[in-house]
Structure 1
């Protein structure tokens, strides 16, 4: 019968006051434990040895050729010093949109004047040559664009006629390299070393691609390029078919055969004998018997549905097989495809089993031995054994976007729009087009009526239509259309993202603009190379948009 005034409590009572024997977990019958191990077959295991040393042999084939775009051809030589992501993202040299970059052109021109005036040439000859340079390469805009910008007008008022356009001069020198007598401008022989030094400084100041050698595909909104390497008697090509920009890794590449890159042999033999260390990860069971485990990672609390096979495999690896994995470090050169030829393991049972163990080549065995990580996909859907470490920057500083374009769907108008949100100004600033773009207002009215008839409703001038065009039967592209401005002339995009490098219509594959839209940006990036050089380039990147947009476009509309 239960009572509220009495209860029963169980309390442990030690036979002695010393807790040390209990904490030691002593085994009082070792023979019994050995018998149980024999019954369970633990003594028959042939993989119970602990690895003591590992010898790894292999070779690393460096990439020696680079080719932008999806086209075929020999490409150009690649020395491995310039990061691949910078070469792929760099814009073509001399690329001009409707407005030029006056500030950088003036800064490079000023630096040339400083070099010429400090050289050993006669001062009078340098002065006359500078006057000719100012006449041949004047600082200014290519047309009438930007002249209504007060900041641009003030900038040109101060510097016009005082400094040459460095961009135009560098473009001319790239076409005709500076040699004594060519080009002219009356420069004496003592001034040509300064001119060559300035051109080298200009090329290193801002990384650009050669004309027609850019990797950006404006129809796919991604970069495409290939690198080539030569293995023993065979050419191999690694292609990045859809690099979105930002961070480049081995997962962006696919492996292929000989595509005419004509790479040269640059192989480094690898041989390393090291001591393996057990793999450690958060939540791993403690190795010591009485060690308290970290509770930050609770592997036992993982929730998984019947279809979450990968999650259950990770949990099983962590709780059951976590102590069976060892880490063997191997340093490989950057910018190479590393292939292992042999892995030899010496364990604690090597002397009893007849010596070290030669492991199967990764990815070449059957069953579990066929498994390997970091394998490249091939063009035919297979897998290529080898570890590719692309030469990229660890981190790069990125400026605020100097240009931004939003590609969005408009279900109400049943079309897509290219919205220029911001564009660069000629003096190096950024112009917010949503605040400065005029509103197109076609307002024909009917005489004697209070209602106003509009052929179409008001559309901001920075909203450019993307019209569907059937490029071939069953295939459609989005072609950039034009709207007429208040003066009757068609409005043109002010930035570079919507201006194709090849003159003609700007076409975009329709599937590249999903319902969530696409945000295109241009920004400056700066990074340090492996040899400590500073590298600056202008990169384009495509990011997810913000959903659908509404232009409120209506046709045959009456307003009271």
Structure 2
């Protein structure tokens, strides 16, 4: 062996570290001497005193916390929601046969845009279903119903059909079914207009079968109203706020009601945080004859005796030594920002105080309000402790901390509401693609607000980008002017030798609807936003310019009434970031298995200010 690999004095070399070296360790493993591996895999420790010493070293024997609870006795009072009132309705009985969202959110389905028929898909669906219902009746009645309730055929030479003719896909669909299919919406509107109207009216082929057709008419109405939930007479939607407002009540002491108000609901899902307790109201008001509120019942009192269970969650630190937690939740991977207070509290709860929380389970039925009247806890030392709510005191106390409690609406210094409200809401709601989308943006250069129609519904029933629909509509009217004049419209000729031209005002795309500031009546300082209109100016058109009307029901509020009504929007509703409002179909399944479908609205924060390019008093080069 080479002398270079031999160390003469190994002990002194290691002690002085004269030569660099690599230390290696051999893994210690249990070596079974028999074919039974059970004892070898136990990894037994023969010195329990060493384990006790480690526990003493880590401070496990220091009892700085109170004893663990072993017995709890709780008195809980529950009451049911009995009253409901929408913003524009009267008080009525609270209906638990449908989710609360389906009672609050539904908006009317628009079947017309001014004097024009829209929602062709709904009209055809209603027509097909009606013809299916009368399949057993005389065959000649089918053709007479198609003739009596026809699909509108657009006239290419009629500019009043512009909402349909301007879009090739909508025009093609109307032309394809006109004279071949039945407009079921016309029959539905006829039957709903007057209780004396019958489905057999005007159909000569039903001679002797009128009773059968009338019975199918009743079934037809019930089917559509069950298929699509329409709003009741009193709607909860407040157009000037772009949100829903409603109230619920539950019986209270001395024949009064405890009223919960939701005056700023727009999120698309109802929960406890949408409600505020209003101590200034003791009743919802007069109930209608159709929706009479049931007689108040006494609160249900429950005395719950239970053994508290420790709160657990995935990734929870193990409370004992020599055990590993599961890795489903990695608290070490959480990267909170300096403003993520809720995330920091979650980390502290999960890592420091995880084993300090206990659960006393109590099932609160949906549509009920639960209030804990008292709670006594006995710990392992036999001490009986009276537990008080952490959120007690004044509701506006800045040091008060509470979770899942309802805020109190008032002027301040109100006693905190310690009740827990569980509204009967849908667990999950499916939302379709937006049928309408409007973005309210602030235009600082023009010093105004615009309602930008991002998505508009075509007469065929399908949504289309508002910018594309505006370009097609503009092109249609330009071609219509050319058709009427027999030649392309020409701008007025410039003066001889002129090099510039004065333009009073520029134009904007037709999907930009102006919202101009006006004074609130009786106030010379506060302003609100009023819907206005831009003129459709086509150079060379001898006709007076027409006003550009919005195509979404969100911006057409009051426009289709007789006479047309203005639409006002509170100025504070449009922040600097803007507001995005969408309308889409919502679908959910309730606890009895029934499917509910309605047309609802949702409001979200926009993405900042915008610029329309509108300018006045400009000089342009020729």
TM-score for both structures, normalised by structure 1: 0.81
Question: How many Å apart are 1:50 and its aligned residue?
Answer: 2.9
User: For 2:368, which of 336, 339, 346 is the aligned residue?
Assistant: 336
Distance 1:300 1:146 in 2: 55
Question: How many Å apart are 1:123 and its aligned residue?
Answer: 2.7
Q: Which has the larger radius of gyration?
A: 2
Distance 2:48 2:330 in 1: 26
For these two proteins, the number of residue pairs brought into alignment is: 530
Distance 1:167 1:283 in 2: 57
Distance 1:58 1:131 in 2: 65
1:292 aligns with 2:339: no
1:173 aligns with 2:191: yes
User: For 2:495, which of 429, 441, 447 is the aligned residue?
Assistant: 447
* Cα RMSD after superposing both structures: 4.1
Q: Where in structure 2 are the equivalents of 1:521-536 lying within 5 Å?
A: 521-536=582-597
SS at match of 1:459: coil
User: For 2:431, which of 379, 385, 398 is the aligned residue?
Assistant: 398
520-529 or 142-151: bigger deviation: 142-151
Distance 1:252 1:222 in 2: 12
1:467 aligns with 2:513: no
Q: Where in structure 2 are the equivalents of 1:298-309 lying within 5 Å?
A: none
Aligned to 1:103: 121
Question: How many Å apart are 1:251 and its aligned residue?
Answer: 0.4
Distance 1:538 1:29 in 2: 65
1:277 aligns with 2:291: no
Q: Which runs of 5+ in 2 are unaligned?
A: 1-14, 31-42, 155-159, 288-292, 479-489
1:239 aligns with 2:261: yes
1:514 aligns with 2:571: no
User: For 1:140, which of 149, 152, 157 is the aligned residue?
Assistant: 152
* Contact preservation (8 Å) 1:466, 1:481: yes
SS at match of 1:407: strand
* Contact preservation (8 Å) 2:75, 2:374: yes
Q: Where in structure 2 are the equivalents of 1:73-472 lying within 5 Å?
A: 74-92=90-108, 96-98=112-114, 99=116, 100-118=118-136, 123=138, 127=141, 131=144, 135=148, 137-140=149-152, 144-148=161-165, 149-161=167-179, 163-177=181-195, 188-211=210-233, 213-232=234-253, 233-256=255-278, 257-261=281-285, 263-264=293-294, 265=296, 268-270=300-302, 272-281=304-313, 284-293=316-325, 297=330, 318=350, 321-350=353-382, 359-360=387-388, 372-380=402-410, 381=412, 382=414, 383-438=416-471, 446-448=494-496, 449-471=498-520, 472=523
Distance 1:145 1:337, change over 3 A: farther
Distance 1:325 1:200 in 2: 52
Question: How many Å apart are 1:490 and its aligned residue?
Answer: 0.7
Distance 1:431 1:527 in 2: 25
429-438 or 392-401: bigger deviation: 429-438
Aligned to 1:490: 547
* Contact preservation (8 Å) 1:284, 1:322: yes
* Contact preservation (8 Å) 1:405, 1:421: yes
Aligned to 1:68: 86
* Contact preservation (8 Å) 1:453, 1:557: yes
Distance 1:166 1:178, change over 3 A: farther
153-162 or 440-449: bigger deviation: 440-449
Q: Which runs of 5+ in 1 are unaligned?
A: none
Distance 2:355 2:260 in 1: 36
Aligned to 2:8: none
Distance 1:189 1:467, change over 3 A: same
Question: How many Å apart are 1:254 and its aligned residue?
Answer: 0.7
Question: How many Å apart are 1:389 and its aligned residue?
Answer: 1.0
Question: How many Å apart are 1:507 and its aligned residue?
Answer: 1.4
Q: Deviations over 1:319-338 (max 9, x none)?
A: 55432320122111111112
Question: How many Å apart are 1:499 and its aligned residue?
Answer: 0.8
* Contact preservation (8 Å) 1:179, 1:192: no
Distance 2:604 2:341 in 1: 31
TM-score for both structures, normalised by structure 2: 0.73
Question: How many Å apart are 1:443 and its aligned residue?
Answer: 6.0
Question: How many Å apart are 1:80 and its aligned residue?
Answer: 1.0
Distance 1:365 1:450 in 2: 77
SS at match of 1:199: helix
Aligned to 1:20: 45
* Contact preservation (8 Å) 1:283, 1:299: no
Distance 1:87 1:165, change over 3 A: farther
SS at match of 1:532: coil
377-386 or 401-410: bigger deviation: 377-386
Distance 1:539 1:444, change over 3 A: farther
SS at match of 1:58: strand
* Contact preservation (8 Å) 1:101, 1:428: yes
1:500 aligns with 2:532: no
